[in-house]
């Protein structure tokens, strides 16, 4: 059952989402060759707590850390470890925060130094597919409209769309209805309702869409060991239109990147 949120509840989700956004912005400066994902995890945990929030993933379903850290062929749910990142890696960082009883949950895939051109392209297309999907999260549309848009855009680029893992509703629980697959059929699935909040999160593979899981019971990786990217935003349906509650702007500020990609999804009253 979809649980629509009041404006006040949406503001609380925005607050948690923004803590995640700032955490990712802080990490953007630290992601470089030589640092381990475990070191980054500890920095993130401290940062989240310093902002009066609880790391959203820590202990959830018994997950051992604050960040899901998924390098290269890992799709999602990678566990931080002490292996240093090296030039040419990509690292998907998924982060959650819980404050005032509401969750934020969003993710970004970083390049570690210079990466192979085909990998850089995968990152750009996956991020673009996120916005292609968000654009369809509007009054009158259904879950399948978002999934269809992401799938079409992604497969037109020759990439694999992961089926087994999906986006989700977001609120007092990290994972609420509806499931938000990155594939689907136009006009199918649950109808969007005013005030609902979702996490939209394409997981896109350079090669096959097929995945496998490591014996740790968590880590998902591509079946062909080719790279995978993951980008996630939290979005509310307000006045029939998608409004971003999370932002990559702290990341871009840290990295000196100019971007207007989020402008069309910002509330006029919100900077």
Residues that bind Mg ion (CB under 5 A): 94, 105, 107, 199, 232
233 is annotated as contributing to ligand binding: no
Q: Tell me: is residue 54 an annotated ligand-binding position.
A: no
CB of 2 or CB of 224, closer to Mg ion: 2
**How remote is the C-alpha of 164 from its chain's centroid?**
16
Determine if residue 230 is labeled as part of a ligand binding site: no
Task: Work out how close the CB of 194 gets to Mg ion at its nearest, in angstroms, rounded to a whole number.
Answer: 22
- Residue 114: CB minimum distance to Mg ion, A: 26
Evaluate the CA torsion angle 198, 248, 15, 43 in order and state its sign. Answer: positive
Q: Which is nearer to Mg ion, 77 or 142 (CB)?
A: 77
Q: In the bound complex, what is the minimum distance in angstroms from residue 256's beta carbon to Mg ion?
A: 25
227-250 in b/e form (b: 16+ CB < 10 A) is: bbbbbbbbbbbbeeebbbbbbbbb
Radius of gyration of the chain (CA): 17
Residue identified by tokens 């005030």 is 195
Pairing relationship of beta strands 74-76 and 220-222 according to DSSP bridges: antiparallel
Closest C-alpha among 179, 46, 202, 210 to residue 128:
202
Min dist. Cβ of residue 7 to Mg ion (A): 23
**Please, which residue, 15 or 105, has the CB nearer to Mg ion?**
105
Separation CA 173–CA 169 (nearest Å): 8
Annotated binding residue 51: no
- Our CB check for Mg ion shows the closer of 41 and 94 to be 94
To the question of whether residue 216 is assigned a binding role by annotation, the answer is no
Binding residues: 77, 94, 105, 168, 175, 201, 232
Query: Residues within the annotated binding site for a divalent metal cation?
Result: 94, 105, 168, 201, 232
Annotated binding site for substrate: 77, 175
């Amino acid at each position: 059952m979809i649980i629509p949120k009041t404006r006040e509840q949406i503001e609380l989700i925005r607050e948690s989402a923004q803590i995640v956004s700032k955490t990712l912005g802080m990490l953007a400066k630290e992601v470089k060759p030589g640092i381990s994902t475990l070191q980054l995890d500890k920095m993130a945990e401290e940062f989240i707590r310093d902002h009066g929030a609880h790391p959203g993933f820590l202990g959830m379903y018994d997950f051992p850390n604050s960040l899901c850290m998924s390098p290269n062929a890992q799709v999602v749910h990678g566990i931080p470890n002490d292996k240093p990142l090296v030039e040419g890696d990509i690292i998907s960082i998924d982060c959650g925060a819980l404050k005032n009883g509401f969750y934020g949950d969003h993710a970004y895939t970083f390049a570690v130094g210079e990466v192979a051109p085909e990998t850089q392209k995968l990152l750009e297309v996956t991020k673009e597919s996120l916005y292609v999907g968000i654009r369809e999260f509007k009054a009158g549309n259904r879950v399948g409209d978002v999934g269809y848009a992401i799938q079409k855009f992604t497969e037109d680029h020759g990439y694999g769309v992961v089926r087994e893992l999906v986006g989700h509703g977001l609120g007092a629980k990290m994972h609420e209805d509806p499931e938000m697959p990155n594939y689907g059929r136009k006009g199918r699935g649950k109808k969007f309702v005013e005030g609902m909040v979702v996490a939209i999160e394409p997981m896109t593979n350079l090669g096959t869409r097929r995945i496998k899981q490591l014996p740790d019971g968590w880590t998902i990786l591509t079946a062909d060991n080719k790279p995978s990217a993951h980008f996630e935003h939290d979005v509310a349906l307000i006045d029939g239109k998608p409004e971003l509650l999370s932002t990559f702007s702290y990341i871009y500020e840290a990295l000196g990147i100019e971007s207007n990609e989020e402008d069309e999804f910002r509330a006029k009253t919100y900077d």
